[in-house]
Amino acid sequence: MIKLLLCLCLFVSVLSGSTRQRDLSDVEHHSDAEIHDLNYDHKAFLGKEEAERYSELTPEESKNRLRILVENKVDRNKDGKVTKSELADWIKQVSKKWMMDERDRVWNDYNPQNKSHLNFNLYSDINYGENIEQRYQGDELKRVLKEREMDRQKWQLADDNKDGLLDIEEFFAYIRPEEVPRMKPFLVDEMLDRADKNHDSYIDIEEYTDELYTREPNIVRNKDPQPEWIKFELEHFSIHRDTNNDKRMDRKEIGEWILPTNYDGIESEVHHLMAHADKNKDDELSIEEIIEQSDLFAGSQATNYGLTLKNKDEL
């Protein structure tokens, strides 16, 4: 999987007014550049926590555990092969479980009294502390007030029945806005707030380039060699991003960049895994094909070590 992931992904506010990158099977991560991120594949196929557990196993233990998983859970009809449909259903199940676990965990963090609904003021007090004007000063106060106002706007959009409160499903829209279509306007606003440096409500090619480089904190623009995935994105800006050819992205185009209308992350992941593991090209994966390509589906101490070395080499 490739770092196109990083240019399609959104950074969405969840806790403490901070931002985080979308994580599991959320966005496209393949392109013609074919720069792969094994960690993403492991999380998509196993789930975040299980992928971390596999990374602590020896290669042999990882393969044995992977074989048991595929034979007992992924291969539903127990015919010794995994079809595209079975693979898609499994990844969908893993992704949904991960998101629901996250929803429940965060809901409980902000709802210690186990109420059926949350109000914004309580959420804000837990998130930022009470009496914000007394807790913060100067530029820090301005930053916190701005983040709190962005949180309020997102809260109002997540509040589907407009009663000022969020139930657990509305709260899911709040913490995972990229998963809920009605939240797209907020995601566009958030990206404009991040990337629109001249405040004209558009993102031009320079602002777009700056935004891409935020995904590469160890690379200095105009000094270090330009990463291949950024070259690819800039070459295709006028084709895939600026669809009306006015040399900038408007709100609609930004929305398509962030959350492409016809993009299916699970379908893309299935295509990627099949392309690399289906050696005999019969559109199915035998158990042995999966085990032979075990590094693609699950990590181990060896792959973890290899990825560590690769990351050090890239610094």
Where is average pLDDT lowest: 28-37, 44-53, 73-82, 246-255?
28-37
Question: If we measure between CA atoms, which residue out of 2, 10, 5, 6 comes closest to residue 213?
Answer: 6
User: pLDDT at position 178, please?
Assistant: 93
pLDDT band at 20 (very low <50, low <70, confident <90, very high): very low
- Average pLDDT for residues 77-89, to the nearest whole number? 97
How many Cβ atoms sit within 10 Å of the Cβ of residue 118?
A: 21
- Average pLDDT for residues 256-279, to the nearest whole number? 92
- Average pLDDT for residues 11-22, to the nearest whole number? 33
Q: Is the pLDDT of residue 105 over 80?
A: yes
CB 6 within 8 A of CB 229: yes
DSSP, collapsed to helix, strand or coil, labels residue 41 as helix
Helices (H) and strands (E) in the chain, counts: 17, 8
pLDDT: which is higher, 76 or 6:
76
Q: Is the pLDDT of residue 33 over 70?
A: no
The C-alpha atoms of residue 44 and residue 37 are separated, in whole angstroms, by: 11
Can you spell out the DSSP letters for 8-33?
A: H--EEE-STT-EEE--SS-S----TT
H/E/C letters for each residue in 84-114? HHHHHHHHHHHHHHHHHHHHHHHHHHHCCCC
User: pLDDT at position 36, please?
Assistant: 56
**Total tally of structural domains belonging to the chain:** 1
Q: Is the pLDDT of residue 225 over 50?
A: yes
Please give the backbone phi and psi of residue 248, each rounded to the nearest 5 degrees, phi first.
-160, 165
User: pLDDT at position 40, please?
Assistant: 85
Residues contacting residue 210 through CB under 8 Å, at least 6 positions apart: 195, 197, 221
Range of the domain at 86: 4-314
pLDDT: which is higher, 29 or 104:
104
- Average pLDDT for residues 173-193, to the nearest whole number? 96
| Per-residue pLDDT tens digits for 185-224 | 999 999 999 999 999 999 999 999 999 999 899 999 989 9
DSSP state of 199: -
DSSP state of 250: -
User: pLDDT at position 84, please?
Assistant: 97
User: pLDDT at position 262, please?
Assistant: 85
For residue 166, the cross-strand partners are 118
**Is the pTM of the predicted complex or chain greater than 0.95?**
no
DSSP, collapsed to helix, strand or coil, labels residue 160 as coil
| Per-residue pLDDT tens digits for 270-291 | 999 999 999 999 999 999 999 9
Query: What's at 295, amino acid-wise?
Result: D
Q: Is the pLDDT of residue 166 over 90?
A: yes
The C-alpha atoms of residue 76 and residue 71 are separated, in whole angstroms, by: 8
What percent of the chain is helix, strand and coil (3-state, nearest 5)? 60, 5, 35
The C-alpha atoms of residue 173 and residue 238 are separated, in whole angstroms, by: 32
Percent of the residues in the chain that have a pLDDT greater than 70, as a whole number: 84
User: pLDDT at position 302, please?
Assistant: 65
